[in-house]
A and B are shown apart, each in its own frame.
Chain A
Amino acid sequence: MPVHMCGIVGIFCKSPAIEERLGELVGDMLVQMGDRGPDSAGVAIYRDPVGPGASKLSLYAADTDVDWAEVGEQAAAAFGVSRSVEITPRHLLLDVLADPETAEAWAEARLPGVTVMSTGQTIEIYKEAVRPEQFVETFGIARMAGSHAIGHTRMATESKVTTAGSHPFSTGMDLCLVHNGSLSNHNRLRQELRREGITFRTENDSEVAAGYLAWRMREGATLEQALEGCLDDLDGFYTFAVGTADGFAVLRDPIACKPAVMAETDDYVAIASEYRALAELPDAADATVWEPSPGVVYSWGAVAA
């Protein structure tokens, strides 16, 4: 089995100094993981939370002719106040004064050709089917400060090389997941989750894992409990890094075919598929470095509330 199949990275900041450098660090880590996944790159970055009653949407249009200025005006007309930031000609960040469900439903109904990649109060997702060097440069990732981020470099196996099939996947508010591995029971599980009202946008196996977590958490599970459920309900290989509005977690399947290594200092805790991504981090040589044990949930921040 090839071991160089997709790369994942993640950082959860424990100090304000690292929060300022979050984008720069996650970008450097992604570039290091380019050899593991040259097909596409993406990050979920948690930053600038909006206030109560407001929400953030990360929008994507496959067609670069989309008029983001007009989308911004439509949002302002629909919700009174909005902020729209064009990240690239295909990616728009939209803040609106509406709850996330309302905002997402509006976007799905009113914006043909536009895909909602994430919704919530803190999360932003950016991804594109390009090498990580180009991704980091195009999206200005290095300039993004925030509390935590997870990222992915993809070598496609289970679905096509498209931006929509790229990671991270979000299927719930402020929830997202990156995955190294492949799931065997994703078709049946997707069917079951659809019946439970979870929406899927692709045929990708990793999106099903994100949907599974969203469903378990909707039913009252904590992130830790939802991840423990993966051990029983997901069949396949996986190393997951998962973000919520204020939490961060890691899980490897019990067989542990897919690699993972972690590093922790007073300033951050980080995961990567390989140590060479962690070597980019400040004081990496003095960090506590360990390989997460198979079948054990590791978590930081608010995950057990």
Chain B
Amino acid sequence: MSTPTQAIDVDLAVTSVRDLNHALHEAREGSWYIRNPRGAHAIAAGVDAPLEIDVDGHVGYYCAGMNQHATIRVHGNCGVGVAENMMSGRVEVDGDASQSAGATGHGGLLVVNGNASARCGISMKGVDIVVRGSVGHLSAFMAQKGRLVICGDAGEALGDSIYETHIYVAGSVASLGADCIEKELLPFHAQELSALLADAGIDDLDVTDFRRYGSARRLYTFDVDDAGAFE
């Protein structure tokens, strides 16, 4: 716990997720320790304050969804869509994350210390995602912005129809999706990757262990000079 105050203890065996989330939405500060999640959905979704939240066990779908400002740690595995549409803050998963981890996220950092399955970072829009293990197929599908760091392997069709997200992979890539190509890892990229690894607490891998992937920009035809046509 980074705050000196005593954590508020919530046992989901006696408190409903709705009551928990209501209390989290009311709070402006403080630490929370959530017990007995037992795979329940939407735990700590929609938090909009710099809270420190620990969840002791496996959670269901959409945990920490839409997070703003909070630091949320899951001491277990996550179901579908952990930290989906996160805006800011930090979400850390001790175990594995199911499909669509960090989907559509705009900001903040999601760290998965185990593996993430299919569609990790799908349509990400600025969130940073660091996966200690491997990711499944169609990860970073239509990813627009932000950084996806994969310390293990990537499944089929990585970065399919990608826009401007930066992807870094230390292990193997089963296949690249449409319009996703390997790109040179320039000093600028080494710098941002190094900072992300440090932020995620990963010290046994170096930027030289990674390859960079991104958009060939042959599939999407948006030109910034045409922006006025869309207003």
Measuring CB to CB, which residues of chain A are less than 8 angstroms from any residue of chain B?
Answer: 3, 254, 256, 259, 261, 274-279, 285, 289-291, 293-294
Q: Of the candidates A3, A256, A261, A276, which one forms a contact with B38 in the assembled complex, judged by CB atoms under 8 Å apart?
A: A276
User: Which B residue sits closest to A292, measured CB to CB?
Assistant: B117
Measuring CB to CB, which residues of chain B are less than 8 angstroms from any residue of chain A?
Answer: 38-40, 57-61, 77, 79-80, 95-96, 98-99, 117-118, 136-137
Other A-B contacts than A256-B117, A291-B117, A294-B137, 8 sampled, CB-CB below 8 A, are A259-B79, A261-B98, A275-B58, A275-B60, A285-B57, A289-B58, A289-B96, A293-B136
A4 to chain B, nearest CB (A): 9
User: Which A residue sits closest to B56, measured CB to CB?
Assistant: A285
A275 pairs with B77, CB closer than 8 A: yes
In the complex, what residues of B have CB within 8 A of residue A290's CB?
Answer: 96
Q: Of the candidates B80, B95, B137, which one forms a contact with A259 in the assembled complex, judged by CB atoms under 8 Å apart?
A: B80
- Identify the 4 closest CB pairs spanning chains A and B, nearest first: A276-B39, A275-B39, A279-B38, A279-B39
Determine the distance from Cα of A232 to Cα of B173 in the docked complex, in whole angstroms: 24
A274 pairs with B118, CB closer than 8 A: no
List 18 A–B pairs whose Cβ atoms lie within 8 Å, in order of A's numbering. Answer: A3-B61, A3-B80, A254-B137, A256-B136, A256-B137, A259-B99, A261-B79, A274-B39, A274-B79, A275-B58, A275-B77, A279-B38, A285-B57, A289-B77, A290-B96, A291-B96, A291-B98, A294-B136
Determine the distance from Cα of A169 to Cα of B136 in the docked complex, in whole angstroms: 31
Determine the distance from Cα of A3 to Cα of B118 in the docked complex, in whole angstroms: 14
In the complex, what residues of B have CB within 8 A of residue A3's CB?
Answer: 61, 80
Determine the distance from Cα of A283 to Cα of B40 in the docked complex, in whole angstroms: 18
A276 pairs with B117, CB closer than 8 A: no
In the complex, what residues of B have CB within 8 A of residue A256's CB?
Answer: 99, 117-118, 136-137
